[in-house]
Amino acid sequence: MFFQNKIYIRFTSFFMLFMFFFSVTPQATASSLFGDFTVKDEIKLGKEFDKMVHSRLPVVLDPQITDYVKDLVARVAKQMPPQPFPITAAVIQNNSMNAFAVPGGYIYIYTGLLLNLKHESELAAVIGHELAHVSLRHVARRMEKMQLVNIASMLGTLAGMMIGMSGGGNSASIGQALAMGSMAGAQSAYLSYTQENEREADHLGMNYLIKAGFNPTSMVDSFKAMKQRQWYVSNTNIPTYLSTHPGLDARIDYLNERFRRMPPEYFRRQNDDAKFYKIKTLIRARMTDPEVAIAHYNNIPENKRTCLDHLGQGIILSRMKKNVEAEAAFEQARQECPGETLILRELGRFYFTIGKMDKASPLLREAYMRDPQDAMTLFFIARVEGSRKNYKQAILTMRKVAEMVPKDQEIHYHLGRMLGESGNYFEAHVQLAYAALYGRTPKQATFHLKKAEGLAKTPEQKKELRKLQEIITPPPPDGADKK
């Protein structure tokens, strides 16, 4: 939703170290072929897996969060050798400290990882490690050896490995559902990373991390954070990283050994966490249990609270319907950081939710002037105009939001409502059909499709209708029986 919403021994030979660091590691290339599993197959499998993730898991669509993660992934991925596919990132709303990458260049970051790491550089270290798995084709090469017969069996096995082992939330049950049958569960265990895989990914990922300008110690710091977190969860809720990426103690040891051979200036690199802290604030305040989140901020001494802490309090209190206290926290945040765009946006959003449009509008417009690419700000500007029955401007603005975030249920729902209130019933049903489609309610989508079919008159409307029909009721696959 738019709101939400290993190594087990040390090297004992200098020659082995020399060969590892200076030999050419296996990278994915367009001509790679191990058995029958080609890079073309990787790309196809990755696309299908990504569709599955977006259709069955709570993928975060808030551009503030997703754009930040995509930019950080791109910064690290830029250090990789040329790949035969683009690197594509997404954020999954789940409290597990988890991240994983799959063949074809897709990487997924859980909100729990963002929330529980201390610095951006630690997140970059995890990203570097995962991208190294992709570049080294660790999963792909193991799948080749399994000789899975088709994409469907590969997809189920991959889901069992990457999602089914996840701790916490609903990912485990979803992963089990996606792993098609007990065979997939056994296969997914075979696919798990070996200690040698982890050693290779640690060292190659470290190279990416350093080239991207980060302090190399952040990789060890991220491992320590995960290890520490393990002691705060039950045995049935251990973060995925500790079950699919074993041997943290040994990995920390050999990375510390590598640090001794690095230039001292690498370790003088400082963290720049301004954007990272904003994202953590949004995730904590918007996507975690409000009672747990408010307790976090209440435990911070008043004289040590930042404007972001007050912002987080305001968001949580507004979720708890404590509007007087929420307003005070928001205004405190604004007073301490008067030009902070995120605070202006969230305060404007708050005033909208309590019906104070005259206060909401100028705050949202100021936020938009400071950041015209923030789709969330534009979303609420459109809704303010809609509440004032200025439908022409509201619809125009909401269409722009839909272009920026094309597959969000709430955007299409509100656009449909505005169109209906303005008298454009055909397009209203089209947008409501898209809303139902992205909200995973196919019956409702079909209902609005039928309504739109009865209203389509012009060639443009019929063309738009055909596009919607192809999405909701796609043609049968090649070779299927046709009546």
- In-domain check, residue 1: no
Within a domain: residue 481? no
Question: For residues 56 and 170, what is the distance between their CA atoms, to the nearest angstrom?
Answer: 11
The average pLDDT across 281-309 equals: 95
Place 165 in a pLDDT band, splitting at 50, 70 and 90: very low
Note whether residue 60 is domain-resident: yes
Span 240-259, average pLDDT: 75
CA distances from 93 to 4, 54, 112, 149 (A): 8, 11, 8, 32
Domain check: are 280 and 382 in the same one? Answer: yes
258 and 290 in one domain?
no
Q: Are residues 436 and 377 in the same domain?
A: yes
Q: pLDDT value at position 474?
A: 66
Is 389 contained in some domain? yes
Dist CA 152 CA 358 (whole Å):
54
Is 153 part of a structural domain of the chain? Answer: yes
Same domain for 317 and 298? yes
Per-residue pLDDT for 7 more than 50?
no
325 with 409, same domain: the answer is: yes
Report the distance separating Cα 382 and Cα 386, nearest Å. 6
Instruction: Pick the last residue of a domain from 236, 268, 300.
Output: 268
Distance CA(406)–CA(434), nearest Å, equals: 10
| Crossing angle (nearest 10°) for helices 274-287 and 307-319 | 20
Helix (H) or strand (E) holding 141: helix 138-146
Find, among 361, 335, 115, the residue nearest to 343 by Cα: 335
Beta-ladder partners of 92: 59, 110
Structural contact between residues 85 and 195, judged by C-beta atoms closer than 8 angstroms = no
Residues 164 and 288 in one domain: no
Report residue 256: phi and psi, to 5°. Answer: -60, -35
* pTM over the 0.85 mark: no
Residue 316 pLDDT > 90, yes or no?
yes
Measured distance CA(291)–CA(300) in Å, rounded: 15
**Do 263 and 362 reside in the same domain of the chain?**
no
Q: Which two tokens stand for residue 391?
A: 């439908």
Domain range holding 258? Answer: 14-268
Find which of 13-17, 30-34, 252-256, 421-425 is predicted with most confidence, using mean pLDDT: 421-425
Domain end, chosen from 268, 291, 306, is at 268
Asked if 185 and 321 sit in the same domain, the reply is: no
Task: Using pLDDT thresholds of 50, 70 and 90, give the confidence band for residue 173.
Answer: very low
- CA nearest 98: which of 44, 180, 161? 161
Q: Do 202 and 323 sit in the same domain of this protein? A: no
Number of domains within the chain = 2
Return the minimum-mean-pLDDT range out of 7-21, 56-70, 230-244, 287-301.
7-21
Exposed/middle/buried for 106, CB within 10 Å: 0-12, 13-18, 19+?
Answer: buried
- Which of 234, 268, 302 terminates a domain? The answer is 268
Encoded amino acid at 471, one letter:
I
* 377 pLDDT above the threshold of 80: yes
Rounded to 5°, the CA angle 107-113-114 comes to 95
Does 162 reside within a domain? Answer: yes
Q: Which residues pair with 89 in a beta bridge?
A: 107
- Sheet with 106-110: list strands edge to edge: 88-92, 106-110, 99-102
Q: Show contacts of 163-167: CB within 8 Å, 24+ apart.
A: 163/53, 163/57, 164/188, 165/240, 165/243, 165/244, 166/94, 166/96, 166/98, 166/110, 166/240, 167/96, 167/98, 167/233, 167/236, 167/237, 167/238, 167/239, 167/240, 167/243
Q: How far is CA 386 from the centre of its chain?
A: 30
Low-confidence winner among 197-201, 398-402, 419-423 (lowest mean pLDDT): 197-201
- 211 pLDDT band, cuts 50/70/90, is very high
166 closest CA partner among 64, 276, 53, 67: 53
Taking the CA atoms of the chain, what radius of gyration do you get in angstroms?
24
Residue closest to 3 by CA, chosen among 71, 54, 60, 69: 60
Identify the residue with better confidence: 167 or 434.
Answer: 434
Residue 90: CB atoms within 10 A of its CB come to 19
pLDDT score, position 424: 97
* Residue 2: per-residue pLDDT: 57
67's CB contacts (< 8 A; 6+ apart) are 373
More confident residue, 148 or 444: 444
Beta-carbon count within 10 A of 398 CB:
27
- Give, to the nearest 10 degrees, the angle between helix 171-178 and helix 39-56: 130
Asked whether the beta carbons of 288 and 252 are under 8 A apart, the reply is no
Query: 101 lies in a domain?
Result: yes
**Cα separation of 184 and 306, whole Å?**
48
Residues above pLDDT 90, as percent of the chain: 62
Q: What's the pLDDT at 340?
A: 96
The helix/strand/coil state of 222 is helix
Shared-domain flag, residues 285 and 210: no
* Closest-CA residue to 360 (of 374, 373, 379): 379
CATH code assigned at 320: 1.25.40.10
Least confident segment among 207-211, 221-225, 306-310: 221-225
What does the pLDDT average to over 200-225?
94
Please report the pLDDT score of residue 172 as a whole number: 42
Note whether residue 428 is domain-resident.
Answer: yes
Q: What confidence tier does 11 reach under pLDDT thresholds 50, 70, 90? A: very low
Q: 13 versus 284: which is more confidently predicted?
A: 284
Give dist(CA 381, CA 42) in Å, integer: 42
> Based on the domain organization, do 264 and 279 belong to the same domain?
no
The mean of the pLDDT values for the chain is 83
Residue-wise pLDDT tens digits, 130-159: 999 999 988 777 777 766 556 666 676 667
Lowest mean pLDDT among 172-186, 237-251, 304-318: 172-186
- Rounded mean pLDDT, 410-428: 97
Q: Which residue has the tokens 């009721």?
A: 473
Q: What is the pLDDT of residues 30-61, one digit of tens each?
A: 434 344 678 888 898 889 889 888 888 889 98
SS3 percent helix, strand, coil of the chain, rounded to 5, is 65, 5, 30
Q: Per-residue pLDDT for 17 more than 60?
A: no
Query: Are 229 and 368 in the same domain?
Result: no
186: confidence class by pLDDT, cuts 50, 70, 90: very low
Q: What is the pLDDT of residue 18?
A: 30
User: Does position 447 have pLDDT exceeding 80, yes or no?
Assistant: yes
Can you give the pLDDT at residue 57? Answer: 84
